[in-house]
Amino acid sequence: MIKKHMFTCALAVVMLIGSKLFISSTPISEKDEIIAQIDAEEFVERHREAIEVEKRAAYLSSLNFANEAVPLEHKEVAKRLKRNLDKFSYSNLHTHKLHRLSKQWFPVIEPILAKHGIPEDFKYVPLVESGLRSGTSHKGASGYWQFMPATARAFGLRVDNDVDERQNIVKSTEAAAKYIKTLYRMFDDWTLVAAAYNVGEGNLLRSLKTQRKDNYYQLSLNPETRVYVYKLISMKEIIEHPELYGYRPASGRGMLADNLDDSDTNSRL
C-alpha cells in the first residue's frame, strides 16, 4: 500500500513538472499578444509626449525680448508668459488683420529702428499699442505708437489743431526710435525700456528706487505694465511662428471680415 501511494505521488509530481514545461514552451496567446502590443503603444505614446514636453521647454527657454532672456526659472514668470501666449493664440485672437498689417508696415518700421540702433523687437510695440492703426485713445495718446501730445512734440512731431504727425507712420516711427534711444540711455536695459515706454520713465524710475530692484520681472507694477513685456513677446511669437498658435491663413475672406477681425482683435489686446 505504501509503495502504491509513493508511486501515485511520484506520478503526480512528474505530471506537474510536465505541465509547467508544456506551458513554458507554448506560444504567447492572442490575448497576451494584444496586451504586449498595448504596452508597446503606451510606451511609444509616453515617449512621444516626453519628447514634446522637452521640445516645448526648449522652445520656451529660447524666448526673449531684444535678446534679453526671460527668467523662466521663476515659476510666476513662466506662468505669466504661458498665460499670455495662450491669450494671443489664434483661437482667442483671430489675427489675420495683424498678420496683414505687419506685412504692410514692418518693412517701413524696421529700417528706421535699425538706423537708430534699436532692436527689431520694438516693432511689436505699435502692434500692441494700437494694432498698427491710426487712432486716439480716451487718454489722448494717438497714432501708431500711441504718443501723448507732449512726448510727441518733445521728439519732433507736430501736433496742433491743423496737423497731427502722430498719424504719420514714418515720422512717428522716427520719433519713437529717438524716444526709445533716450530711454535706453537712462535704463541700459531693453526690457526696462519697453516697460518705461508703457508706464513712463518717471514712474518706472520711482518703482526701481522704492522697490530696490533693477529687473523688470521682479518689479511690482500696475496691471497693464506688469504684463506689457509679456504681451510684446507673445505678439512677436504669433507673428513669427503663427503655426504654433493655431493660425489658419484666410481664404475667400472679404474686407468686411478683415475689418471685423481688426475691431475684435484690438478690443481684446
Nearest to 143 by CA among 121, 172, 122, 163: 172
DSSP 8-class letter at 146: T
Cell 504654433 sits on residue: 244
What is the Cα–Cα distance from 158 to 154, expressed in whole angstroms?
A: 9
Give, in order, the Cα–Cα distances in Å from 18 to each of 7, 21, 22: 16, 5, 6
Q: Residue 189 in 3-state DSSP? A: coil
Q: What is the pLDDT of residue 244?
A: 86
Residue 186 confidence (pLDDT): 97
For the chain, what are the domain ranges? 2-50, 77-268
Residue 163 CA to residue 172 CA, distance in Å, equals 13
User: What is the pLDDT at residue 91?
Assistant: 80
Other CB atoms within 10 Å distance of the CB of residue 191:
22
CA distances from 52 to 47, 58, 219 (A): 9, 10, 32
**What cell numbers appear for 234 in the block?**
507673445
CB 145 within 8 A of CB 172: yes
> What pLDDT, in 10s, does the model give residues 185-218?
999 999 999 999 999 999 999 999 999 999 999 9
Yes or no: say if 95 and 247 are a contact pair by the CB < 8 Å rule: yes
Contacts of 248 (CB under 8 A, 6+ apart): 90
**With contact defined as beta carbons under 8 Å apart, do 221 and 198 qualify?**
no
- Find out whether 122 and 194 touch, Cβ atoms under 8 Å: yes
Tell me what pLDDT residue 49 has. Answer: 59
Distance of CA 169 to the CA centre of its chain: 26
Instruction: Give the residues of the chain that fall short of pLDDT 50.
Output: 2-9, 11-26, 252-268
Choosing among 1.10.10.10, 3.40.190.10, 1.10.530.10, 1.20.1260.10, the CATH entry for 77-268 is: 1.10.530.10
